[in-house]
A and B are shown apart, each in its own frame.
Chain A
Amino acid sequence: MAVSESAPAIAADLTQDQLRSMYRDMVLGRLLDERILVLNRQGRAPFAISGQGHEAAQVGVGYALRRGHDWLVPYYRDLTLVMVMGMEPKDHLMASLGRAQDPNSGARQMPGHYGSRAHNIVTTGSPVATQILHAVGVATAFKYRGEDKVVVTSVGEGGTSEGDWHEGLNWAAVHRLPVIFLVENNSYAISVPQSLQMAVAHVADRGPGYGMPSATVDGGDCLAVYAAAREAVDRARRGEGPTLLEAVCMRLQSHSSDDDQRRYRSPDDLAQMREHDPLERFRRQLEGAGVLSEGDADTIRKECQRVIEAAQAEADAAAPPDPATALRHVYQEG
């Protein structure tokens, strides 16, 4: 296990265009996430679950995958990661507003329950960590068919207390399956701190117990996450088995729109987090390396705002689901 506090200034295998695109995806995720919370406070989106503070980790992992080839079995904080895989702001807004065009579920599920066959994102439910086992099954299918695909599955550090998480890691290690177990550790499972979830300092400390390589990376450092994820993905693709990858993130917002983290976190804690916002860190890093010029970040921000405005206009105008469809798709039809 390696604890990586800082990344190389610029990853050798990423072009400047890719780096700008990574930054743009982070900004798009953040602004969309903020928009959805506003819609919630306006009473228009009944429920919202935020991924703010996780964008760098999600973009870092997403860019290590081959889009359209590799698979993702996500969890509810992966708003940005599913967009790296191919979903669009419009898709999120359709879900938030409960529109028939919600591609995840046709507005049957709460927002944040992702799934898209077109983008190799496996359908997910609410129980925590059940998806870990599905990823192991997907990887079993890849290995059985001799495909060079890998699957990433994600969960928070609270989810690692579930039996399904343990069973999944153990099985994948036994059968050397091409899975990356991503843990987006933001220190809190709703209100319960990491110290009450586990007696180890890092989730990745458990890797050796499964006979699996593992690493803890700074989840606010996009390129450090990318480098660690690339290593894990390459290892899986070579047929050398799974990796446990822990990205230490921050949860800038409350657990969900029904939670208020000021009730259980100190003002200092919350303020300090803001000072280490991963978006600002990445912007400074890219500006320092000359990847972004003065004004570029502003241009990107405005472009993302336009995309979100257009997406919301489309979602606003979209129809809710037809009640006549509520009884469909329990079993295969016809």
Chain B
Amino acid sequence: MAQVTYVEAIRGALEEEMRRDDRVLVMGEDVGAKGGVFGATAGLFQEFGEERVIDTPLAEAAIVGVSIGCALAGLRPVAEIQFLDFIPPAMDQIINEAAKIRYRSNGEWSCPMVIRAPCGGGVHVHGALYHSQSLEALFAHVPGLKVVIPSTPADAKGLLLSAIRDPDPVCFFEHKALYRSLREEVPEGEHLVPIGKSRVAREGADLSCITYGATVHEVLTAAERMGEDGIEVEVLDLRTVRPLDREAIIATARKTGKVLVCHEANLAVGVGAEVAAIVAEECFQQLDAPVMRLGGPEVPAIPFAEPLAEVYCLGPEKIEAKLRQLAAY
């Protein structure tokens, strides 16, 4: 198996799937000759040509709306929104159109498409307010959509292949801080990771931390430090935030009786609230502490300057402190 980065895994998945299925095409801003601003489509234009790797006008609603039309006519489009921060103009197309096409046609039409977008920020990402947002909760609220946020190169490949083959619209959000910071062995060829199934990223008996995306790695660092003191934290990587893997959430909560939910996105009314509600409803008798949450503060997005960004971002220290608070409860 080859050692590849997160962004190489995404590029590879697109390439493999385009070779396998000629219904798959890619469209977005700068995805063609340039290969995408992060290189996620590098080389595809050269291999598959301008009919399958379409450099679009600078118009997000159109990128999604035209992709919907392609899907309705039998293709399998993969739309790239250059940054998740710029997806709001396409929200009408995503929420009112893509998500509702199967339901509104009583099952007669479907909209198999993927919307890829880099998300997230960090102290050293310098994306500031409009190149760092984590907006997954907006989409996770909408029946008809699936929302996938892989945390590793192998999952990025396996989940993207599943997303492209999925019969319904999938939002596929890639944390840009992971693109080149991670390298691991990724299975070559057919490697499918099912949508809606989480993974236990670290086993532990004392506490559970439920998380996803880039935060998984910060949680793992915090969990290792806790382990040095004999407190074993189980880390559940959700991988998919719609549909949530209820069984796995309930299983880890019942196992440890103490749950922290952690994500980079703004805390209030976020994915963590839904996870916490599931735990409260299903595991009340097994809990030894209230479900705790850790997430972005009540500011709109991550500021530019590092001292300001540090206030927003989690990082292993804040997570460790919260885990110790939970452990001591």
Q: Quote the shortest CB–CB distance from B139 to chain A (angstroms).
A: 14
The 5 closest A-B pairs by CB, nearest first: A137-B69, A133-B65, A106-B106, A141-B73, A329-B107
Closest to A136 in B: B66
Per-residue interface assignment for chain A, residues 319 to 334, with 1 indicating a CB less than 8 Å from any chain B CB and 0 otherwise = 0000000001111110
Residues of B within 8 A of A142 (CB): 73
Contact yes or no, B96 A141, CB < 8 A: no
Inter-chain contacts of A137 with B (CB < 8 A): 65-73, 77
Q: Is the CB of A171 within 8 A of B73?
A: no
Query: Are B61 and A163 interface neighbours, CB within 8 A?
Result: yes
Stretch of A52-60, A120-128, A263-271 at the chain-chain interface: A120-128
Stretch binding the partner chain, chosen from B9-17, B50-58, B124-132, B184-192:
B50-58
A80: which B residues are within 8 A, CB to CB?
none
Q: Are B73 and A138 in contact (CB under 8 A)?
A: yes
B300 within 8 A of A: no
Task: Give A269 Cβ to nearest chain B Cβ, in Å.
Answer: 33
Q: Which of A71, A106, A133, A175 has the most CB of B within 10 A?
A: A133
CA A11 – CA B140 in complex, angstroms?
54
How far apart are the CA atoms of A170 and B72 in the complex, in Å? 21
- How many angstroms between the C-alpha atoms of A252 and B64 in the bound complex? 36
| B66 / chain A contacts, CB cutoff of 8 Å | 133-134, 136-137, 140, 168, 171
Task: Report the separation of the CA atoms of residues A147 and B143 in the bound assembly, to the nearest whole angstrom.
Answer: 34
Q: Are A115 and B168 in contact (CB under 8 A)?
A: no
Q: Report B's interface with A, CB cutoff 8 A.
A: 25, 51-52, 54, 56-57, 59, 61-62, 64-75, 77, 89, 92-93, 96-97, 100-110, 143-144, 146, 167-168
Chain A 105-141 interface mask (CB, 8 Å, partner B; 1/0)? 1101100010111000011011100101111111111
Pair A122/B109 contact, Cβ less than 8 Å: yes
Residues in B neighbouring A125, C-beta threshold 8 A: 96-97, 100, 104
- Chain B's closest residue to A166 (CB) is B59
A103 and B314 CA atoms in complex are apart in Å by 51
A-B contact pairs, 22 of them (CB 8 A): A71-B73, A116-B108, A122-B72, A123-B72, A123-B101, A123-B104, A125-B100, A126-B96, A127-B92, A132-B65, A133-B61, A134-B65, A137-B70, A137-B77, A141-B74, A164-B92, A167-B61, A170-B59, A171-B59, A328-B107, A329-B106, A332-B110
Complex interface bits, A255-298 against B, C-beta within 8 A gives 1, otherwise 0: 00000000000000000000000000000000000000000000
B71 to chain A, nearest CB (A): 7
Closest to A164 in B: B61
B43 to A: closest C-beta gap in Å: 20
Q: How far is the CA of A132 from the CA of B68 in the complex (A)?
A: 11
Asked if A170 meets B25 with Cβ closer than 8 Å, knowing A125-B100, A133-B66, the reply is no
Given contacts A329-B107, A330-B144, contact A171 B69 (CB under 8 A): no
Instruction: Write out the residue numbers on chain B whose beta carbons fall within 8 Å of the beta carbon of A139.
Output: 69
Q: Knowing that A127-B92, A140-B54 are A-B contacts, what are 11 other residue pairs whose CB atoms are under 8 Å apart, sorted by A's residue number?
A: A109-B104, A122-B72, A123-B105, A133-B68, A134-B97, A136-B65, A137-B68, A139-B69, A167-B61, A171-B59, A331-B102
Q: Is the CB of A123 within 8 A of B108?
A: yes
Q: In the complex, what residue of chain B is closest to A329 when comparing beta carbons?
A: B107
Residues in B with CB closer than 8 Å to A122 are: 69, 72, 109
Whether the pair B104, A105 counts as a contact (CB closer than 8 A) is yes
Q: Nearest Cβ in chain B — how far from A99, in angstroms?
A: 12
Contact residues in A for B75 (Cβ distance below 8 Å):
140-141, 144
Bound complex: CA of A109 vs CA of B74, how far in Å? 23
Q: State the CA gap A175–B50 with chains docked (Å).
A: 11
A198 to B117, alpha carbons, bound, how many Å? 35
- Contact status B61-A105, CB under 8 Å: no
Complex interface: chain A residues within 8 A of B102 (CB): 329-332
Most buried by B among A135, A144, A168, A332: A144
With the chains together, A134 CA to B65 CA distance in Å? Answer: 6
Q: Would you call B57 and A174 a contact (CB within 8 A)?
A: yes
Per the bound structure, the CA–CA distance linking A136 and B62 in Å amounts to: 9
A76 smallest CB distance to B (angstroms): 13
Known: A139-B69, A164-B61. A331 touches B104 (CB 8 A): no
Given A109-B104, A332-B102, verify A130-B144 contact (CB < 8 Å): no
A105 to B93 alpha-carbon distance, docked (Å): 19
**Given contact pairs A144-B52, A331-B102, A164 touches B69 in the complex (Cβ within 8 A):** no
In the assembled complex, A154 has its CB within 8 A of some CB on chain B: no
Q: Is A127 touching B109 in the complex (CB atoms < 8 A)?
A: no
Q: Are A130 and B57 in contact (CB under 8 A)?
A: no
Per the bound structure, the CA–CA distance linking A106 and B110 in Å amounts to: 15
* Closest residue on chain B to residue A163 by CB atoms: B61
Considering the chains assembled together, what is the distance between the CA atoms of A160 and B255 in angstroms? 58
Nearest-Cβ distance from residue A77 to partner chain B, whole angstroms: 18
